[in-house]
A and B are shown apart, each in its own frame.
Chain A
């Protein structure tokens, strides 16, 4: 079946603009995760959804970042007033449920560049 997909693949924006990044998880996966991967670093956890609700948003760096998953499937990560420091690859992952042992399946990421 289809894996996790993310759109757009690349996004270039100007400082101060608003961006939305989309994630389509694997069908039937109730758990969805967003990570941010800066150049030369490993991914860093941002937020976790179980169904429609954000069960853990402790990784969001500040209130310019927000994510939704209104129907428990597709999720959108929203970044307001973008800054150059927001430039990174944003990865989305999904798993069958929250269980710690469960494999998280990752999408190819969105590379965000803020000029």
Chain B
């Protein structure tokens, strides 16, 4: 079974600064997908960015980018020019290409609470 670890329960950053959220995972699979989801107080999970494991190029979505290190099984999220609206819980998630045995769902980490200081 895969596991996802987010070692930072909480991070704080000044508005307009850059912050990096860490995520490591454990898997024996060679192909898979990785995601970062944002969960504001409204509880609704919102996809921030995704990465295919077979792609070496790091994904980028506007102010959000990832540093994907496949050999190290690391998948960190960098948020540039932090904005007050970025404040939320951030979850790293793993998706297998397999079926059954729970593989169809996302495997989430425990999350990082991001605080934006004005």
Contacts and interface: CB of A to CB of B under 8 A. Distances in A.
Q: Do A and B come from one complex?
A: yes
Given A42-B91, A56-B100, A35 B105 contact: yes
Interface size bucket, B side? 20 to 34
Nearest to B107: A45
Interface in B42-78: 42-47, 50, 52
Contacts of A106: 37, 44-46
B52 A101 contact: yes
B97 interface: yes
Nearest to A9: B43
B31 to A, nearest CB: 9
A30 B84 CA distance: 35
A89 interface: yes
Interface of B: 4, 32-33, 37, 42-47, 50, 52, 91, 93, 95-97, 99-111
